[in-house]
Amino acid sequence: MKIALLARNPNLYSHKRLVETAEKRGHEIQVIDTLRVYMNITSHKPQIRYRGESLSGFDAVIPRIGASITLYGTAVLRQFEMMAVYPLNESVAISRSRDKLRSLQLLSRKGIGLPVTGFAHGTRQAEDLIEMVGGAPVVIKLLEGTQGVGVVLGDTHNSAKSMIEAFAGLKANILVQEFIKEAGSSDIRCLVVGDKVVASMMRTGAKGDFRSNLHRGGTAAPIKITPEERSTAVRSAQILGLNVCGVDLLRSNHGPLVMEVNSSPGLEGVETATGKDVADLIIQFIEKNAKPNKTKTRGKG
């Protein structure tokens, strides 16, 4: 099988693992710098070019598209889809997951548990927004933020109000969510491949930091999740249309709550914490499912 890996940095742990695993299983895999691709979008013969040559003959494409290049990255992926190449995650599904508001609306509509969430743009009605989600403490997130950047905790009414008003001055889109106190500074990352949670870990934030991101000093340990947590993670992936993703859950007094669904989850933390060979499971999934024209949207989303 010939596989394309769309990735800006081939030296990242996740990308090296996918390459070595694919080659170990007998496949040819090419790392393609997403931003160096250019395309001919002619109606009858779509073409992808890279470093002066035409890219063709691929059976599958693994999109590892960073949040900062979602627009161009999904355009490149759509071009592969138009050429009938099987995508591990489809462009439409990635776009859904990257739009925090849209993804939460889709999950909410299907009854997935979420923290009480408010959404606003440059609002001056900070007090009403805080009360709408149940009062302080609240978590305030920039809609465009990733990996814990642009996420702050308003632990009192006055501090939350000041933060919201500061964001209002920037005319920024923000999410304001209830703070799940019983979760503390921990969350659960469930790694979904197909219709299964193949690995799960609990991430705990560094001392004094309510964010659990590992690259911000957090720690990770394997955890046995409940059937309800497993079902919530798999359903969330299916609702957004993702074959492979990381689903971040909070344990609350009224069941699991989804914080976010990540369409390009890192593999280092979860493989190190759990000892699971997630890269191998991903390549196995591609082997089983990669067929021409199997893309649901064919680049039409």
41 compared with 74, residue with greater pLDDT: 74
SS (H, E, C) the chain: CEEEEECCCCCCHHHHHHHHHHHHCCCEEEEECHHHEEEECCCCCCEEEECCEEECCCCEEEECCCHHHHHHHHHHHHHHHHCCCEECCCHHHHHHHHCHHHHHHHHHHCCCCCCCEEEEECCCCHHHHHHHCCCCCEEEEECCCCCCCCEEEECCHHHHHHHHHHHHHCCCEEEEEECCHHHCCEEEEEEEECCEEEEEEEEECCCCCCCCCHHHCCEEEECCCCHHHHHHHHHHHHHHCCCEEEEEEEEECCEEEEEEEECCCCCHHHHHHHCCCHHHHHHHHHHHHCCCCCCCCCCCC
CATH for 2-95 is 3.40.50.20
The winner for highest mean pLDDT among 136-150, 195-209, 227-241 is: 227-241
Please state the rounded mean pLDDT for residues 243-265: 96
Q: Is the pLDDT of residue 217 over 80?
A: no
CA distances from 265 to 63, 227, 233 (A): 11, 22, 14
Segment among 9-13, 45-49, 91-95, 121-125 with least mean pLDDT:
121-125
Range 117-179: architecture per CATH = 2-Layer Sandwich (3.30)
Q: Is the pLDDT of residue 128 over 90?
A: yes
Give the start-to-end residue ranges of the domains of the chain: 2-95, 117-179, 182-277
Give which of 50, 8, 57, 53 is closest to 29, Cα–Cα.
57
Q: Is the pLDDT of residue 116 over 80?
A: yes
Segment among 10-24, 98-112, 283-297 with least mean pLDDT:
283-297
Q: Provide the pLDDT for residue 182.
A: 87
Please indicate whether the domains covering 2-95 and 117-179 agree at the CATH topology level.
Answer: no
Please state the rounded mean pLDDT for residues 128-132: 94
The winner for highest mean pLDDT among 39-43, 186-190, 205-209 is: 186-190
Please state the rounded mean pLDDT for residues 289-298: 74
Task: Report the CATH fold assignment for 182-277.
Answer: D-amino Acid Aminotransferase; Chain A, domain 1 (3.30.470)
Segment among 11-20, 96-105, 274-283 with least mean pLDDT:
96-105
Q: Provide the pLDDT for residue 44.
A: 78
Q: Provide the pLDDT for residue 216.
A: 53
Model confidence at 214, in pLDDT bands (50, 70, 90)? Answer: low
Q: Provide the pLDDT for residue 135.
A: 94
